[in-house]
Chain A
Amino acid sequence: MAIRGGAERGMRAMLEVKNLSAHYGSIQVLRRVTLHVTEGEIVTLVGANGAGKSTLLRVVSGLHRATEGEVLFQGEPIHRLRPERIVRLGLVQAPEARQLFPNLTVLENLELGGMLHGKQRIAEAMEETFALFPILPERRRQKAGTLSGGEQQMLSIARALMTRPRLLILDEPSLGLAPLIVEEIHRTISVLHERGVTILLVEQNAMGALSIAERAYVIETGRIMLTGSAQELIEHDDVQRAYLGKDYKYKWER
């Protein structure tokens, strides 16, 4: 029978966000958001500026408290844990706008990322990371602040990888980068995924993110308005409309 067979990769949900609501003061930013990322998947959450993407990530990372709902990581509730505890469990974010230590060298930035698991593990992780990002060993002694935007983004992802995450969350990795550099970043993310890293990619750049993701969620004003396979959503009229800036006034308008 076609539907049987043990080939199903990681049916277990790595991340489960359930009924998540969040406020800033009296303003509700998330309205019962439910989504999941299955082990081995690459999922993207796309939405415009102010849709609630960053708030969602802040809640998932333990930086902001939800007013309602729960976040499960590998089946365990984490929405009451402190951020450093969540990182230790293997849920790691490469933050938006890179947020590196500009006055430290590339090597020092990476070592800081790897400190989590003790010094003896750093060398091993560093080797793997350098293999993925060949530009970084060349720049190892350079101050992070002197790298180009694309290199900084690579370093940000590499630093997150030094913690050997089970789930890597990438917040707007293409922000402010030239199209060619974005493509390179996306290629790197695809390679990471092929190597078995589970990825949640959060992006404003819908088309780019959808081109490398397997599944996607579209968030608008704090609500999930669309979900499906990335392929389906690329072709979806709503996404096209939002992306191309076209809109309609009446349903019967053609």
Chain B
Amino acid sequence: MAEGSGARGAIDALSRDEIRRRQLEQLQVMLNRAYFHVDFYRRRMDEAGILPEALGSIEDLRRFPFTTSGDLAQRYPYGLFAEPLRSIVRLKITSDSEGNPIVVGFTRRDVAMWQSLMVRLYERVGVTDRDIVQVAFNFSQFPGAFTFSQAAEMLGATMAPSATASATLQLKIMRDFRSTVLATTPAFALHIADVLECGRAGMDRSELNLRVVLLGPDPVADAARERIEAVLRTPVYGLYGVTEMVEPGLAGECPGKDGLHAAEDHFLLEIVHPVTGEPVPEGSEGELVVTTLTTEAYPLIRYRTGDVTTLRTTACACGRTSARIAPVLRRTDSRTSVRGNPVYPEHVGAILRKLDPGILDYRLIVHTRYGMGEQLDVLVVRPVGEGFPGGGRSQYLEMLRSHVRRGVGVGARVQLVDPERLPREGLGDKVVFRSEPLSCETD
């Protein structure tokens, strides 16, 4: 692990050469631990005919095999743990694209590491112990929300916890508590902005003390950022975390808002061609591949995130030397996001077909506002005249709706449609996006 998060040894202040040197040191330790503590990695390396000590430079990492979310799900629950359960203090659950569960473990030191990263992101955008941080997440759907809260506490910033209260109530809390920082999802921040602008909260921006908005774990679309900044009149910053690692904070923006600075003391980032797996030239778009350098319980070696981005190591205007990634706005797969929840269309399709094998086709209609997924509609086509499994038409739709909700964690409207009414788009990945205008009528 790096030398604390304090001034001394801060990774962001080192030269690129020095950062690479430290990464090499940590990477060798990580490969040794993975090889000797995790059967999966040992077998993978043995199959590839490679030992940890084959790594003499960071470039040598290319010779090591990739790890995918499928690998994680196949070794459910504890197959990728490098530490005995006795050393694990936290378990979090996530899933792969088919909805198969993945369990990620954390040692005490892992928890401290993730918290320190979140503290770093708060500090980077100017949050201090004078601030009141309002953390507005659905804690049950986004376990990383706890880290937002705990980091705010560590920083000494007072925390006004508020999870799933309505936007109106959020604004009331924001005004009454004099919150200066809002940490939430981009979708919810947009909603709060709407409610404020439409006057439904019965208050004006001038009554708020808000000065920083930090959004995650979804990337913030440019249009959404502009909209939130315009209405809330405060800078909006984004952060990045790998979904399967559950925790946010792997990278985050600085006030320059020109890319997200990666925590290179804890992670090694590569960008590879999504199909060939070969490295792409610096600055070119490709799939982000993450290797953990310090995590103990759950080491990831060359993990394919499925997130498409670019990586730059050029100097940032803020003076930090750490590499920056661009906000992730595309995926190598068809995963999409609705109100901050990852949704895989093939997962939805599998849920539908399991309930009703007779389904002919389906589409996911993702209603977006300012580039962010807000509402999910599922259109289903089935043979005309056939009886409905599970009773009548309404029971059938209710059954599909509740299973989709439970399976993907997002409420959806399910409709039966005629084949000719199914959108022409989305033939391949089954997803269609519809941009929605602002409406002041609904909440």
Contact = CB atoms under 8 A, between A and B. Distances in A.
Given A225-B33, A237-B86, A34 B28 contact: yes
B8 A8 contact: yes
Given A7-B7, A34-B24, A252-B78, A223 B87 contact: no
A171 interface: no
B14 A11 contact: yes
B84 interface: yes
Task: Give the top 5 A-B pairs by smallest Cβ distance, nearest first.
Answer: A228-B1, A237-B87, A32-B53, A31-B53, A3-B10
B3 interface: yes
Given A3-B320, A229-B1, A224 B85 contact: no
B175 interface: no
B13 A235 contact: no
Interface in A1-41: 1-5, 7-9, 11, 13, 16, 18-19, 21, 31-36, 38
B1 A232 contact: yes
Interface in A240-254: 248, 250-254
A227 interface: yes
B25 A252 contact: no
Interface in B1-34: 1, 3-4, 7-10, 12-14, 18, 21-22, 24-26, 28-29, 32-33
Interface of B: 1, 3-4, 7-10, 12-14, 18, 21-22, 24-26, 28-29, 32-33, 36, 52-53, 55-56, 78, 81, 83-87, 107-109, 123-124, 294, 318-320
Interface string A61-87: 000000011000000000000000000
B86 A254 contact: yes
B32 A251 contact: no
Contacts of B78: 251-252
B86 A7 contact: no
5 contacts: A8-B8, A11-B13, A224-B28, A232-B1, A254-B85
Contacts of A18: 21, 24
Contacts of B55: 32
Contacts of A8: 7-10, 13
Given A34-B28, A232-B109, A251 B83 contact: yes
Contacts of A3: 7, 10, 12-13, 123, 320
A65 B28 CA distance: 22
A72 B232 CA distance: 54
Interface string A206-248: 0000000011000000011111110010011100000000001
Nearest to A11: B14
Contacts of B9: 8, 11, 38
Contacts of B81: 251
Given A32-B56, A228-B109, A251-B81, 12 more contacts: A1-B123, A7-B8, A8-B7, A13-B18, A214-B3, A224-B29, A226-B29, A227-B25, A232-B1, A237-B86, A253-B86, A254-B86
Given A19-B56, A248-B84, A227 B1 contact: yes
Given A9-B8, A229-B3, A251-B81, A35 B25 contact: yes
B85 A229 contact: no
Contacts of A38: 9
A3 B316 CA distance: 14
Contact of A237 (B12, B24, B28, B83): B83
B53 A223 contact: yes
B9 to A, nearest CB: 7
A35 B33 CA distance: 16
A221 to B, nearest CB: 9
A68 B109 CA distance: 33
Contacts of A229: 1, 3-4
A250 B1 CA distance: 26
A49 B415 CA distance: 70
Contacts of A223: 28, 32, 52-53
Contacts of B36: 225
B28 A253 contact: no
Contact of A215 (B3, B53, B84): B3
A14 B13 CA distance: 18
Nearest to A32: B53
Contacts of A35: 25
A8 B32 CA distance: 31
Contacts of B33: 225-226
A7 B124 CA distance: 18
Q: Which of A7, A34, A248 gathers the greatest number of chain B CB atoms within 10 Å?
A: A34
B28 A32 contact: yes
B377 to A, nearest CB: 43
A237 B110 CA distance: 13
Interface in A163-195: none
Given A8-B13, A235-B108, A251-B85, A224 B7 contact: no
A102 to B, nearest CB: 40
Residue among A18, A214, A226, A237 with most chain B CB within 10 A: A237
Contacts of B22: 36
A8 B14 CA distance: 11
Given A19-B56, A253-B85, A4 B29 contact: no
A224 B18 CA distance: 19
A11 B320 CA distance: 16
Contacts of B86: 237, 248, 253-254
A236 B13 CA distance: 28
Given A224-B32, A225-B32, A5 B25 contact: no
Contacts of A225: 29, 32-33, 36
Interface string A96-113: 000000000000000000
B328 to A, nearest CB: 25
A4 B319 contact: yes
A237 B107 contact: yes
Given A4-B13, A4-B319, A16 B53 contact: no
Contacts of A13: 18, 21
A69 B85 CA distance: 37
A254 B86 CA distance: 5
